[in-house]
Structure 1
Amino acid sequence: MVEHHVLGISGGKDSAALAVYMRLNHPELDLKYFFTDTGKELPEVYDFLGSLEGFLGKEILRLNPQRDFDFWLREYNNFLPSPRSRWCTRQLKLTPFRNWIKPWLEAGDKVHSYVAIRSDENHREGYDSGHRNLTVHLPFREAGIDHSGVMELLEGAGVGLPKYYEWRSRSGCTFCFFQQKIEWVRLKQQHPERFEEAKQYEKTALEHGSPFTWSDRESLADLEQPERIEAIERDFERRKEKSSSRGRVNPLRQGVELPAGVEMEEVFGESTACVICQK
């Protein structure tokens, strides 16, 4: 029986840190690193994948869906994906992964999937198809590695954080509907052309009767108004101050300038986004 060892890279810090950890601690494993590409990723994601490949000394395989985001948007009657209908995760992330490992499972091979769920994320689980030959491993949970441990791994390896953490807290698609409103504001500031593309998708969706907008109960056209941006930025600053006063910000990093995206994660808490997208 052939055994395959696979590790999905989302473009985010946790999965990158797991790749570093496995490279350092389990060099005996012939790990296959993969990235499921929606075609709507931020340019910073691709830059970060290249840096990570340099450390790993190994290519990160790109799994491309057979049909792109625009195809599936039409299939779903131009209804945008949302927390209640995560068709983007199913069609652009999970299906390419399933199709990739399917021949191995059908041949009777064993597949070991390594997922970057930390020891401080007891509420999360990795994707499991239920197939008897697919085993999901959670090395961080087993080794007691938490958020601080992830940061130390990336810094120690010289990989660092993706550049989008300078303004955003999560990886995945440019249009991730789990983004906070402040992150939509930052997208407009950092990648105005991507924001305009998101607005056009939203306009088309609303014209076709979609009940969802990208941001909860607010269109991007309304969100981008100057007075609304000012209000969103004020609200975020208030949340940061409240988070700090309650001691939510890690005291071990007091006095250390954090990337804005990491600050957002600490202010708003963990996302409920699928681990294959965000981690």
Structure 2
Amino acid sequence: MTESENTRNVRHVLGISGGKDSSALAVYMRDRVPEMEYFFCDTGAELPETYEYLNRLEAALGKPIVRLNADRDFDHWMQVYQGTLPSPQMRWCTKNLKIKPLEEWVGEQRVISYVAIRADENRIGYVSTKPNIEAVFPFREDDIDKDGVMRILDEAGIGLPAYYEWRTRSGCYFCFFQRKHEWVGLKERHPELFDRAVEYEEKVRYRDTAMKDRNYTWSQGESLPELIDRKDEIEAKHHAALERAARRVKPNRPLLEVLNDALDEDDDEAGCSVCHL
């Protein structure tokens, strides 16, 4: 096979999470790699704001974002894992609803995967172990940081997803990486989705009545009803953190930066490397 034939057989793919970084990278690479294939791993449990933002992004890219769906839904895998909710220690949702559909879609053809890790980030993100997938990091290579990402989105006229008013990352509505205040935000903005998340907890509690040491919850350390009972306390803590963050941030900085800084004072871990780019 000649070098030109080999080049033509390489697929260029870029995963969209519904967050600011991957969206900015998609816009950044739009004219640089015209043959780029954009994809979104759709769990079926995304926020309405995420789906709306994907539609806006498609218009800016001028081509569709392929939706990748798992052949088995969340409820199926929850049964497989014997009623265990996913957690930072057991991320079976990422494995089965994100990574598996992606690697099946890619197949065995040689692929270059464009990963939206910024120059100012000290993390790797999801890098496939399949030998036919090569990961590249354009933002790191071109020294593009958070300010650069915001500039790309502003200049493209896309802006940020609406969920950034109360949440700093994309992901499922029941994502266990949500901060306490973000759960309160879900309750206020999407009460029907919050109630569904509570139903999952109650289902697990019902199954585990004879095994009290297996009391799984979405928010580590307390159930969602218990969390909402502390709403005033959580809100007060959040507003205090916002005030401290606002004093640290330079004038005229986006609300997202203040919110992100404030929420970083909460007690959860870094987000999932697949979902939160």
Describe the SS at the equivalent of 1:52.
Answer: helix
Hey, what does 1:5 align to over in structure 2? 12
* Cα deviation digits, residues 142-193 of structure 1 (max 9, x gap): 1111111111110110011011111111101111111000000000000000
Hey, what does 1:16 align to over in structure 2? 23
* Partner Cα distance (1:50, 1:189) in 2: 24
Whichever residue aligns with residue 169 of structure 2, its letter is R
Q: What stretches of structure 1 of length at least 5 have no aligned partner? A: none
Hey, what does 2:57 align to over in structure 1? 52
Residue 244 of structure 1 deviates from its aligned partner by 3.8
* Cα deviation digits, residues 88-125 of structure 1 (max 9, x gap): 101100000011112xx2xxx32000010011112x11
* Partner Cα distance (1:131, 1:192) in 2: 40
Structure-2-length-normalised TM-score: 0.90
Hey, what does 1:265 align to over in structure 2? 260
Aligned-residue sequence identity (percent) comes to 49
Residue 265 of structure 1 deviates from its aligned partner by 1.7
Residue 131 of structure 1 deviates from its aligned partner by 3.1
| Residues 79, 208 of structure 1: 8 Å contact kept | no
RMSD of the alignment, in Å? 1.6
Hey, what does 1:65 align to over in structure 2? 70
Hey, what does 1:211 align to over in structure 2? 215
| Residues 5, 29 of structure 1: 8 Å contact kept | no
The question of 1:243 aligning with 2:237 is answered no
5 Å-filtered alignment, 1:101-140, equals 101-102=106-107, 105=108, 109-122=109-122, 124-140=123-139
Describe the SS at the equivalent of 1:187.
Answer: helix
Hey, what does 1:159 align to over in structure 2? 158
| Residues 36, 96 of structure 1: 8 Å contact kept | yes
| Residues 238, 263 of structure 2: 8 Å contact kept | no
| Residues 39, 68 of structure 2: 8 Å contact kept | yes
* Partner Cα distance (1:184, 1:171) in 2: 13
Structure-1-length-normalised TM-score: 0.89
* Partner Cα distance (2:128, 2:160) in 1: 30
Describe the SS at the equivalent of 2:275.
Answer: helix
Hey, what does 1:220 align to over in structure 2? 224
* Cα deviation digits, residues 24-49 of structure 1 (max 9, x gap): 4x0x4400000000000011111100
Greater mean deviation of Cα atoms: 66-75 or 125-134: 125-134
Residue 271 of structure 1 deviates from its aligned partner by 5.4
Whichever residue aligns with residue 240 of structure 1, its letter is L
Whichever residue aligns with residue 274 of structure 1, its letter is C
Describe the SS at the equivalent of 2:274.
Answer: helix
Hey, what does 1:255 align to over in structure 2? 252
* Cα deviation digits, residues 194-223 of structure 1 (max 9, x gap): 000000001111222343211121111111
| Residues 15, 22 of structure 2: 8 Å contact kept | yes
* Partner Cα distance (1:196, 1:257) in 2: 31
Hey, what does 2:233 align to over in structure 1? 231
Whichever residue aligns with residue 223 of structure 2, its letter is S
* Partner Cα distance (1:265, 1:211) in 2: 30
The question of 1:94 aligning with 2:96 is answered no
| Residues 17, 154 of structure 1: 8 Å contact kept | yes
| Residues 115, 138 of structure 1: 8 Å contact kept | yes
Hey, what does 2:3 align to over in structure 1? none
| Residues 82, 177 of structure 1: 8 Å contact kept | yes
* Partner Cα distance (1:131, 1:95) in 2: 11
Give the number of aligned pairs.
Answer: 262
Whichever residue aligns with residue 129 of structure 1, its letter is S
| Residues 245, 258 of structure 2: 8 Å contact kept | no
* Partner Cα distance (1:218, 1:189) in 2: 19
Describe the SS at the equivalent of 1:277.
Answer: coil
Hey, what does 1:80 align to over in structure 2? 85
